[in-house]
Amino acid sequence: MAGKPSTVDKVKNKVQEVVTEDTARLRDLTAQAATSGAYLYPIKGILYFISHRALWKPLLAKLVPTLSLGAGITVFMFVFTYVPQAAVMAFTNGPVAALTAGLLVLSESSTITNLLARQLLVSDALIDTFDGTLMSRGTTELVSSGREIKRGKSDPIHALGKLAKKPFAKYSPSAFIRYLIYLPLNFIPVVGSAIFIIIQGRKNGPDRHERYYQLKEWNASQREKHVDELKGAYTSFGIVATLLELVPVASILFSFTNTVGAALWASDLEKHGKSAGTTAPSLREQAEQVDKEL
């Protein structure tokens, strides 16, 4: 008669069960991300931004102070953090430590610049960019639920009136603390950086639609349901958006183009009536539709 499973066997079985469940969940999310087309929207945001000069106005109004902030932060970071980080990375990255440390400092500088700029300089400009993009796509009714609309204006930015609802939630200290917690992952060659980007992307994807949730007047549970249904799509969008915003100097520009991409996606969700239950195939159709409109 076989004896009862030992404690070790029970633990092994439980671990295998958890790993199997997590692997299946990851496979499903990866499949949704790959088939959704959501990862295309940051790229489409760049193309749409370039081809619609009216959307440049909010960025141009904040360009000089933002570039000055970015330059100051980058110089500070290289003076005070490059050598210590290069010394640590010498143990993990060997002869390429000097290069990888430099890239890491540039990444850190871009992230800090984005955090501070969004907090202090460009939050209203990003709202105007998001709303202006929705206006240019004919999603005027959605925008009118959150601000006044000036009639008879062909320019989507000039048509934006006074905000009727509070703007984007500004970055909280927890966002920066979370960034610092996961930052050491970059000291692990290749794999660590990939994990860091994925973690940031999972958070940044839904954050790019904060204005959309606000205009929809969704409560916390409605937002959570929507994000959960599109978890893979939001993660893929967030990963591409995060990668773009890690580009030194151009990070603020990509913040605006990512905002345009997020608004294009929101407009397509509205036009297809899928804002709370979009399936992966329909997202692909939306992405193809934007291609036709660009």
DSSP string, 121-169: TSHHHHHHHHHHHHHHTT-HHHHHTTEEE-TT--STTTTEEEESS---P
Q: Is residue 89 part of a domain?
A: no
Chain mean pLDDT for the chain? 80
Work out how many domains the chain is built from and give that number: 1
Q: Is residue 247 part of a domain?
A: yes
Q: Residue 105 above 80 pLDDT?
A: yes
Confidence of residue 20 (pLDDT cuts 50, 70, 90): low
Mean pLDDT (whole number) for 256-273: 93
State whether residue 111 is helix, strand or coil. helix
Q: Is residue 281 part of a domain?
A: yes
Q: Six-digit token pair at 271? A: 């036009």
* Rg of the chain, C-alpha, whole Å: 22
State whether residue 88 is helix, strand or coil. helix
- Which residue shows structure tokens 């790959």? 34
Confidence of residue 90 (pLDDT cuts 50, 70, 90): confident
pLDDT, position 206:
92
Tell which wins on pLDDT, 76 or 183.
Answer: 76
Q: Residue 251 above 80 pLDDT?
A: yes
pLDDT, position 277:
43
CA angle 198, 202, 208 (to 5 degrees): 125
Q: Six-digit token pair at 79? A: 């003076």
Q: Is residue 27 part of a domain?
A: no
Largest CA distance in the chain: 86
Query: What is the domain extent for residue 215?
Result: 37-54+123-293
Backbone angles phi, psi at 163, to 5 degrees: -70, 135
pLDDT, position 287:
47
Mean pLDDT (whole number) for 26-32: 65
Sign of torsion over alpha carbons 262, 267, 270, 274: negative
The DSSP symbol for 188 reads S
Task: Compute the distance between CA of residue 78 and CA of residue 93 in angstroms, rounded to an integer.
Answer: 19
Q: Is residue 32 part of a domain?
A: no
Angstrom CA distances, 24 to 28, 39, 55, 199, stand at: 6, 21, 42, 18
Q: Is residue 197 part of a domain?
A: yes
Instruction: Out of 13-27, 60-74, 266-280, pick the least confident.
Output: 13-27
Mean pLDDT (whole number) for 157-162: 90
Task: Compute the distance between CA of residue 178 and CA of residue 199 in angstroms, rounded to an integer.
Answer: 10
Tell which wins on pLDDT, 64 or 23.
Answer: 64
pTM of structure: 0.77
Q: Residue 92 above 60 pLDDT?
A: yes
pLDDT, position 195:
83
Task: Compute the distance between CA of residue 247 and CA of residue 75 in angstroms, rounded to an integer.
Answer: 16
State the virtual CA torsion across 280, 240, 203, 250 in degrees, nearest 10: -150
pLDDT, position 216:
92
Confidence of residue 280 (pLDDT cuts 50, 70, 90): very low
Q: Which of 57-61, 81-85, 281-285 has the highest mean pLDDT?
A: 57-61
pLDDT, position 135:
94
Confidence of residue 225 (pLDDT cuts 50, 70, 90): very high
Q: Residue 34 above 60 pLDDT?
A: yes
pLDDT, position 1:
47
Mean pLDDT (whole number) for 201-221: 91
Task: Compute the distance between CA of residue 263 and CA of residue 130 in angstroms, rounded to an integer.
Answer: 5
Q: Is residue 97 part of a domain?
A: no
How many CB atoms are located within 10 Å of the residue 85 CB? Answer: 20
pLDDT, position 119:
80
Q: Which of 3-17, 142-156, 175-189, 279-293 has the highest mean pLDDT?
A: 142-156
Instruction: Identify the helix (H) or strand (E) that includes residue 250.
Output: none
* Contact yes or no for 132/185 (Cβ under 8 A): no
Mean pLDDT (whole number) for 203-221: 91
Q: Is residue 1 part of a domain?
A: no
